[in-house]
Structure formats: structure tokens, C-alpha cells
Amino acid sequence: MTDTFQLEIVTPEKKIVETKAAEEVQIPGRNGYLGIMPGHAPLITELAVGEITYRENSADQRLAVAWGFAEVLPGKVTILAETAERPAEIDVERARKAKERAEQRLASGDSTVDVERALDALQRAGARDRDIQVVRVPGAFEVPSAARTLAASRRVDAVICLACIVRGETSHYDHLANEVTRGIGQSAQETGVPHAYGVLTCDSLEQAIDRAGLKMGNKGWEAALSAVEMASLKGVVGKRALSTQHSAISRRSPHGAASAKSKSPPKRS
């Protein structure tokens, strides 16, 4: 086994990194950071917003990345990122203004922050605008009820539940978060329609800003991709189950017909 592997990091604009001497790479995955070393098992993972760190010739290199996918193959790691910047390339002033805009939108109660990213993810996955229905509710507590109504209509393939609950000075936060989570899960189980959980439960407004796309990924984007995956999985599993059922029926049919015929009373002359 070699001590290095090939690493490529590519954006839609250009190839950022191309080396055959990578010793290790840390990738911000959907469920946390993932460390890749020579001999790692093959996999494909979704990228979150974060920092890629890779080691080349015993020196660490860093890039800020957002969204995309990473593919690990024997001897090669390919990262396709929506954006990737080295520290020297980051426009600090632009980043500061983006943070200020995010803070202003959340402080104003703008409910479109996660919705816009969710719609973007759906459209990138091939969904058409006319197939997407957005339903707004007064607060997080009403999300499960609206989700159940949509799911029970049987006119949707999946339901994406988005909300933000920020902890206050009383225990109201805990009761609300528990009831919203329970209601969404119960609706999914009882209707059989996939529900994507995109509810932010945060200790502060700053944490909500970070989880709405500034530092720690975007919950709307993640929930939309989960909805697409679960709807597709349900379709595949449903077709296989139906095919198996038809096959079982076809195998039983000749015996069933013979048995029924043998049990029929004889005709009288």
C-alpha cells in the first residue's frame, strides 16, 4: 500500500487542486468531518459548508468550501465543490457583508432563508416549479398539522418541514421542540409519505444564523436533498415489492386453480 493518493478539487470555474502526493484529507461531510487516508474504502458523500484540510509533502493546506460531493476511489479522491477558496483568495469584506445580511434577515423574522435553499436544492435535483408547493404556517407548532394535511392528500411525494426554534428563558423551548419533532415523525409513520426534518433547534440567534447557511451548512438544503432521496427510495422499494408480489401470485396460481377445480362438486346427469 502506498503512502499517498491522488487528490483533485474542482469547482465549476476551475481545478483548484491536482496532486498525486496527498497524504491525508479532511472533508466536511453532511454528518460531520470525514478523514481520508490511503487505502480508505470507496464512498461518495455530500459536502457541507466548511474547511478542507489536506496534507502534501508533510505540509497542511486549507480551503474553504461550500456544497458539492466527494468521491473516494482506490488511490484517488475527487471533490466537486460549488465553491472552493484558499485563505488568500477569500474576500473578507464580502464575507462580512454576507454575515450582516443574514443577521438582518433572521432578526427581521424573514421566513424565506431556509425555504430558498430548499427550493434551490429541489430544482437542482430536477424538480419542476409547478411540482413544488410551499405552505407557510404561523409558527413551528403548526408545522406537523400542515405536514399531515399535505401527506394525507396523496398529492405529494414528500414533505419538507422547515422551522426555527430558539431557546428562551423558560422551558417552553423544550416542550415546543419535542412536540414538533414528535408530530412530524408521527405524520410520516401514519401516512407513509416521507417527511424531511429541517427544524432548527438553536440556543441563540447566532447559532441559527450559522446553521442557516453561514458556517454550518444549510438545513433547508439538507432537508430537501433528504426528501428527494427518500421519495426515490420509496419508489424503488415499492416497485420491487409489487414485482415480488406479482411473481408470488403467478407461482401460486396454477396450484390454486387445480385445487379449486378438484373441490368443485361433480355435475349431475
Question: For position 269, what pLDDT does the model report?
Answer: 40
b/e sequence 17-30, b meaning 16+ C-beta within 10 Å: bebeebbbbbbbbe
Question: For position 268, what pLDDT does the model report?
Answer: 47
Question: For position 263, what pLDDT does the model report?
Answer: 43
Q: Is 175 a catalytic residue?
A: no
Question: For position 205, what pLDDT does the model report?
Answer: 76
- Candidate list 172, 175, 195, 246, residue with the active-site label: 172
* In the chain, domain spans: 5-89, 92-232
Whether residue 265 has pLDDT greater than 70: no
Q: What is the DSSP letter of 265?
A: P
Rg (CA), the chain: 25
b/e sequence 34-73, b meaning 16+ C-beta within 10 Å: bebeeebeeeebbbbbbebbbbbeeeebebbbbbbebebe
Question: For position 182, what pLDDT does the model report?
Answer: 94
Which of the listed CATH numbers 3.40.50.300, 2.60.120.10, 3.40.50.720, 3.40.50.960 matches domain 92-232?
A: 3.40.50.960
Whether residue 261 has pLDDT greater than 50: no
Q: Which range (19-23, 28-32, 92-96, 171-175) has the least confidence?
A: 92-96
Contact 61, 54 (CB under 8 A): yes
CA dihedral 74, 80, 83, 85 (to 10 degrees): 30
Question: For position 252, what pLDDT does the model report?
Answer: 54
Q: Are strands 76-85 and 59-73 parallel, antiparallel or unpaired?
A: antiparallel
Q: Which CATH superfamily is domain 5-89 in?
A: F0F1 ATP synthase delta/epsilon subunit, N-terminal (2.60.15.10)
Q: Tens digits of per-residue pLDDT, 62-75? A: 998 887 889 999 99
Mean pLDDT over 47-64 rounds to 90
CA dist 51 to 79, 84, 87, 165, Å?
13, 9, 10, 27
